[in-house]
Structure 1
Amino acid sequence: MSKSSKRSIPTSVTQSPIAATSTPAPATRRPAQPATVANPFASSNSEPPPSYSPPATTVAASTDNPYAFLSTFDTVFLIDDSGSMAGRSWRETSLAIASIAPICTAHDKDGIDIYFLNAPDSQSYQNITRPNEVQRIFDTVKPGGGTPIGTKLNAILKPYLRECEAKKSNMDAVKPLNIIVITDGVPTDDPESVIISYVKKLDKLDAPPWQVGIQFFQVGEESGAAEALQELDDGIAPLCGGRDIVDTVPWKSQDGGSTGLNADGILKVVLGAVNRRLDRKRVSLDGRPAQQGR
């Protein structure tokens, strides 16, 4: 989709009940990104949002608002658009993200960003807020190609770490980033080396444990993919002094006897990952060694 593409979009969109009852958080500024495709579905706004105000160090989900933690992070989806994702996995993924978009927007007016593995680095979709936007994007992108997870993670993390380095004297001014990767296959490059490189940079900046998080969701049941992703989960922290930014979740389809990929399941996993990182910080502040295990 090019910047010049213009389409008529319905102005009336039904949002998630959760989104409708939540209290929106103040607008925030995202870190500098590489050249991207402007969101073709959002109205233009020439005024920049106010600068980011750092969150409290405790993120807790309450009974009334289990998704309040979303206000403290920028949420990015990295979607596997390889050929094997065509069909059920593609439909489940698009429906899950369409459900998540209004929930995230209720807590962060920036909405979500969506990247695809095989799209050019210049083609991403920023500040997506509504389900119909997600559906139109997925209708436009056609699965095909390999699974270059490491390459695309580098494209996302490089400008973000540049922002962190520019503000290293005040890291609280950089909003934490959470990347949700949805894939069904074995990576065709080396995401481990990419992640380790950025973990070391985060350590050098003395960034908090929750500054960057990456959750991998495996759709489908390819055993090689499950093994490769589990190695990322288990193998990176010991090589990087204990900083654990990766979580992996195998997700069986309905045919496999389990619930299909869905918004509630994804956000529960993300919340669990966030709280584990915050718990390590709390333990350290209490003067006891933080547990690095899961």
Structure 2
Amino acid sequence: MSSSVALDLGVSDLAELASNLTVANDEAQVQSILDADLLTPWEPPQPSSGDEDVYALLRDYDTVILVDDSGSMAGGLWNMASKALAQLARRAVYYDKDGIDIHFFNATEKNRENVQSAREVVQLFQQVRPNGTTPTYSRLHAHLMSYLRRFQKDPNIKKYNIIILTDGPPDDNVGHIQKLIVQVAKKLENELAEVHQVGIQFVQLGNDPEAEQFFSYIDDHIMKDNKLDRDMVDTTRFNPNLAGEDMFKKILLGAIREKYDNMPFDTLTESTTQPLPLAELRSRSTFTS
């Protein structure tokens, strides 16, 4: 850009230009991450003699990935989400032959069901920009209630594994999420559903300490505090530097298989801090752009 052109631009014009350059750079980083993840078709790790293909459990489940696209996810966390989503999708679509579901907190018009390739998943991701709030409770409530209605009509439908990628606690009351989990667990018990009929995996992106307290509580304490017979919640902190098979097994299987729920791999349950009561957890600020 020549100096004469730059001088003709006002302050707001320069700010908009800088913002566009930042967005373009972020998009380039996301595209690079996604391309690298999709270059090599994924195949299940070859099990040792006598071992099982642990991912095969996913054939019994409908896999739903719910992505936090709130304003606080912009920048580095959105790049991290792209890394997590691409790798999770590659594995999940291999086993869920009728396709996985991808849903967003805010860009609901981009929601897609029965997605059958990782490339389709990441192309969808590229169409979304972080903006808005974190309505974790309302989105999770809609998914779980819809599944319960279908299960009550047909107990033989596939089991349900929902994975939430988010950077922090919800804007719409953390206490409601606790009550929702308890409500769903009790309904499943009343219906004599299998112990792992439903799995809920919260994946923390970033290191928000308030989020850590929230996830630690719902993972470690909600079952004991409410005397539930089933543990259907797991939490995992996504660390892109340790994003190997162990981490993806933990995320995809942690809420539906006890072995991986208790897997001591970079999880929030390793925190030595005492979880705060839910009433003391502050809701995050509303982020908009």
CA distance in 1, matches of 2:71, 2:248: 23
Q: 1:16 is matched by which residue type in structure 2?
A: P
1:82–1:145 contact (8 Å) kept in structure 2: yes
**Mean Cα deviation higher: 215-224 or 238-247:** 238-247
2:82–2:122 contact (8 Å) kept in structure 1: yes
Deviations 1:174-231 (A, max 9, x none): 2110011111112112321222221121111111111000011111010000101111
2:250 pairs, out of 254, 268, 271, with 268
Q: How many correspondences in the alignment?
A: 219
1:76–1:113 contact (8 Å) kept in structure 2: yes
CA distance in 2, matches of 1:278, 1:90: 26
Deviations 1:88-139 (A, max 9, x none): 221222233223323222222122111111234x652111222321222111
Q: 1:274 to 1:145 in 2, by over 3 A?
A: same
- Trace 1:210-221 onto structure 2 (pairs within 5 A): 210-221=196-207
Indicate the residue corresponding to 1:150 in structure 2: 137
- SS of 1:67's equivalent in the other structure is helix
2:204–2:238 contact (8 Å) kept in structure 1: yes
Indicate the residue corresponding to 2:71 in structure 1: 83
Larger Rg: 2
Alignment of 1:245 with 2:270, yes or no, is: no
Segments ≥4 residues shifted beyond 4 Å: 19-22, 61-64, 261-264
The Cα of 1:232 is off from its aligned counterpart by 1.1
Alignment of 1:73 with 2:87, yes or no, is: no
1:15–1:130 contact (8 Å) kept in structure 2: no
Indicate the residue corresponding to 1:206 in structure 2: 192
- SS of 2:140's equivalent in the other structure is helix
1:92–1:262 contact (8 Å) kept in structure 2: no
Indicate the residue corresponding to 1:54 in structure 2: none
CA distance in 2, matches of 1:64, 1:14: 27
Query: With structure 1 as the length reference, what TM-score do the two structures score?
Result: 0.66
Q: Which runs of 5+ in 1 are unaligned?
A: 1-12, 23-60, 280-294
Aligned-residue RMSD, C-alpha:
2.9
Alignment of 1:166 with 2:191, yes or no, is: no
1:18 pairs, out of 43, 49, 71, with 43
Q: 1:277 to 1:195 in 2, by over 3 A?
A: farther
Indicate the residue corresponding to 1:101 in structure 2: 89
CA distance in 2, matches of 1:202, 1:241: 11
CA distance in 2, matches of 1:230, 1:219: 14
- SS of 1:18's equivalent in the other structure is coil
- SS of 1:182's equivalent in the other structure is strand
CA distance in 1, matches of 2:124, 2:245: 18
Alignment of 1:178 with 2:161, yes or no, is: yes
Q: 1:214 to 1:241 in 2, by over 3 A?
A: same
Q: 1:206 to 1:125 in 2, by over 3 A?
A: same
Q: Which runs of 5+ in 2 are unaligned?
A: 1-37, 262-289
2:74–2:130 contact (8 Å) kept in structure 1: yes
1:102–1:129 contact (8 Å) kept in structure 2: no
**Mean Cα deviation higher: 69-78 or 129-138:** 129-138
Q: 1:206 is matched by which residue type in structure 2?
A: L
CA distance in 1, matches of 2:223, 2:46: 38
CA distance in 1, matches of 2:123, 2:260: 36
Q: 1:71 is matched by which residue type in structure 2?
A: R
Q: 1:191 is matched by which residue type in structure 2?
A: I
Higher helix share: 2
* Identity in percent: 37
1:230 pairs, out of 208, 216, 228, with 216
Q: 2:212 is matched by which residue type in structure 1?
A: A
CA distance in 2, matches of 1:230, 1:164: 29
1:196–1:240 contact (8 Å) kept in structure 2: no
